[in-house]
Structure 1
Amino acid sequence: MRDWRLIELAKKMRREQTEPELRLWFQLRAERFHGIKFRRQKVIGRYIADVSARDPMVVVEVDGDTHGFQEDYDRARTVFFEEQGYRVIRFANLDVMTNMEGVLEQLALFVGRAPLPTLSPEGERAI
């Protein structure tokens, strides 16, 4: 049975997302990113994942400055998520705010859905 306090906390976190979380969410929501259905502030066991998907099983964490002081906690979360079958990738707030294209490229590689290379307009036989 779920802990209703955790569910209520997740709802509050959805309403009060940080700017980097919101920016990333707008890129991932509504299956915009490679057709993957992401959920935000998803309760997984005793933790709340910033963003997660079931197919593929991935958790995306957006870490702010305070995460430098809670490395043990973050490591425990990662271990727990991995025990549940998820792969975890973390991005710093600064990267999300200043290099969204790079973040999305890394995420695409991580989930195994890297973009195809851009072909030459002249075709493969161009000299």
Structure 2
Amino acid sequence: MADERRQFARRLRRQATGPEDVLWDLLRGRRLDGLKFRRQEPLLGYTVDFLCPERKLVIELDGRQHGWDQGYDAARTDEIERHGFMLIRFRNDEVLDDRDAVIARIRAACTP
């Protein structure tokens, strides 16, 4: 099962959306305050868009399909937060249109 999740995560990384690529470019290689982020990372039976294990922070990007899956997203958020992670969500257009605000929110969430 773990191998299937890893393969799924790899496939998602290869098929990244434009907003995911933009945010990854801002986070990768410890570019944000020296923090290590991973993308499309298996966590608790889910595959999260971005994970900073050091700060127990999960970042999810929501495209149009997430408007249809609000119940699933809420249950997923509750499960992840129950395990001590903070989860923040951004709409795709936020990442594309206001990168500075997105980074400011991530930075604030990473502040201990």
TM-score normalised by the shorter chain: which range applies? over 0.9
**Match of residue 64 from structure 1:** 63
**Match of residue 30 from structure 1:** 29
Q: In the TM superposition, what are the counterparts of 1:42-57 in structure 2 within 5 Å? A: 42-57=41-56
Distance 2:54 2:2 in 1: 25
What's the CA shift for 1:43? 0.1
**Match of residue 41 from structure 1:** 40
SS of corresponding position for 2:24: helix
What's the CA shift for 1:45? 1.8
SS of corresponding position for 2:104: helix
Query: Given the alignment of the two structures, is residue 111 of structure 1 paired with residue 87 of structure 2, yes or no?
Result: no
**Deviation digits for residues 66-94 of structure 1 (CA, Å, limit 9, x no counterpart):** 10000011111111211222100000000
SS of corresponding position for 1:13: helix
Unpaired runs of at least 5, structure 2: none
Unpaired runs of at least 5, structure 1: 114-127
**Match of residue 91 from structure 2:** 92
SS of corresponding position for 1:5: helix
What's the CA shift for 1:4? 2.1
Ranked by relative contact order (alpha carbons within 8 Å, sequence separation 6 or more), the top structure is: 2
Greater share of helix residues, 1 or 2?
2
Question: Could you tell me the percent identity over the aligned residues?
Answer: 34
Distance 1:7 1:33 in 2: 25
Distance 2:38 2:59 in 1: 10
Q: What amino acid is the match of 2:47?
A: I
Larger radius of gyration: 1
Distance 2:5 2:48 in 1: 12
**TM-score (normalizing by structure 2):** 0.95
Distance 2:106 2:52 in 1: 12
